[in-house]
Amino acid sequence: MSQGALRHRAFRLLFAGQSISSFGDRLVPVALAFAVLDLTGSVTDLGIVLAAQTVPLVLFVLIGGVWSDRLSRRRVMLASDYLRAAAQAGSAALLLAGTATIAELAALQAVYGFAEAFFGPAAVAVVPETVDPASLQQANALLGLSSNLAAVLGPAVAGVIVATTRPGWALAIDAVTFLGSAACLTSMPAQLAGGSVRTTMLRDLRTGWQAFRSRAWLWITVLNFTLYIGFCFAPLQVLGPQVARLSLGGPGAWATISVALGVGAVAGGFIGLRWRPRYPLRIAFSVFVITTPALIALIAAHAPLAVIAVVALFDGSAGTLFNTFWYTALQSDVPAGELSRVSSWDYLGSLALAPIGQAVSGPIALAIGLSTSLYGAAILALVLFIGALATPAVRNFSPAAIPDRQAGPTGVSDAR
């Protein structure tokens, strides 16, 4: 490890900051879901709050990609951390004061989503600037590991908070973690990353789009996940907590499922530190075909919690392996000056239908039932992942065909 990603001081700071804020972020899905359900008992209201966070992310992520290529990515990330800290602190204050309304929570989560639209593209693109090319996959695997460890601890802690105190405290902790992330970013080299030649906004967007669409493995996979997140994951996100609340034992059951996903993701992260398969997307989608539809269907069937948790372990492992391979491929194949813009198209495609899915999941479930809605999502997930595997550009994608990046870390000190 001494010769790997962590020997770079800039990456160590990035890793520390992301680890801190990832923990806070993992508190929020459980806490926010049950805060809204306790407030109104309506899955439709929960869908509205979740969609309010996602809509500005979708609307502004392309602009976020342009500005992250134009400016210091470190400064973009800092501004986003401070804004997200303010949004979560405001949500926490309203919930703890007992005065929160759905409209207020939705507005504050919209601020969060706006800030995330700038942070995401900058964070993907800054990683190659903090490590040498040989350490890039290890860097992504380590970031995935920290996120996945947070996925284990965060929902468990959130479940305890929801069960013993009030959900607002989890949002307050999230706000503090963003300040911790900002402190780490502040210590990174000021010149790190960014600063491409500025043209017009429209031309910058067009350049990013051309780089995105020229890679078939990239846009086909993004399209697959556009449909999956909108019509499979969004219903699970909105309806899953309600199934847990009514049929699986309450908030603790949903936290258990989230923890199982996180434990599996941690295992996948350790595998991703070393394993470099010839066809990584083929491996990831082959596991997704089995585990993801099964997980959704088991929740729809109100299966025993232990069975759901076992399947969630495998699904979480597949997810983190996919992310490690995916981000490494992006960062290796896309030129540094275009990377934020290309990753912003990835973000946009992946999330474009999420607000619709989140907003309509509740009304659809009211019309046809929770289980029927989730069974439909499971069937669609199966079809989508089989379709991805049937596509040669995805199935035969190989990192061996991507030339190594020639540029190493920019403005990075390796001093310990």
DSSP string covering 8-46, please? SHHHHHHHHHHHHHHHHHHHHHHHHHHHHHHHH--HHHH
Among the listed ranges 313-317, 355-359, 373-377, 387-391, which one has the minimum average pLDDT value? Answer: 355-359
pLDDT bracket for residue 108 (50, 70, 90): very high
Q: Percent of the chain having pLDDT more than 90?
A: 31
pLDDT at residue 3 greater than cutoff 70: no
Q: Collapsing DSSP states into helix, strand and coil, what is residue 79?
A: helix
Tell me how far apart the terminal alpha carbons of the chain are, to the nearest angstrom. 14
pTM given for the model: 0.76
Average of pLDDT values for 342-361? 84
Q: How many CA atoms lie within 13 A of 297 on its CB side?
A: 12
Average of pLDDT values for 10-34? 89
Q: Collapsing DSSP states into helix, strand and coil, what is residue 403?
A: coil
Average pLDDT over the chain, rounded to whole? 85
pLDDT bracket for residue 311 (50, 70, 90): very high
The pLDDT value recorded for residue 197 is 57
Among the listed ranges 184-198, 300-314, 325-339, which one has the minimum average pLDDT value? Answer: 184-198
Nearest-angstrom CA–CA distance, 353 and 228:
9
Nearest-angstrom CA–CA distance, 138 and 142:
6
220 token code pair = 């086909």
- CA nearest to 180, candidates 264, 93, 85: 85
pLDDT at residue 271 greater than cutoff 80: yes
pLDDT at residue 405 greater than cutoff 80: no
Q: Which domains does the chain have, with CATH numbers?
A: 5-187+203-401 (1.20.1250.20)
The pLDDT value recorded for residue 241 is 86
Residues contacting 241, CB < 8 A, separation 6+: 30, 33, 34, 37, 46, 251, 254
Digit-coded pLDDT (tens) for 182-205: 999 998 876 554 555 566 778 888
pLDDT at residue 147 greater than cutoff 80: yes
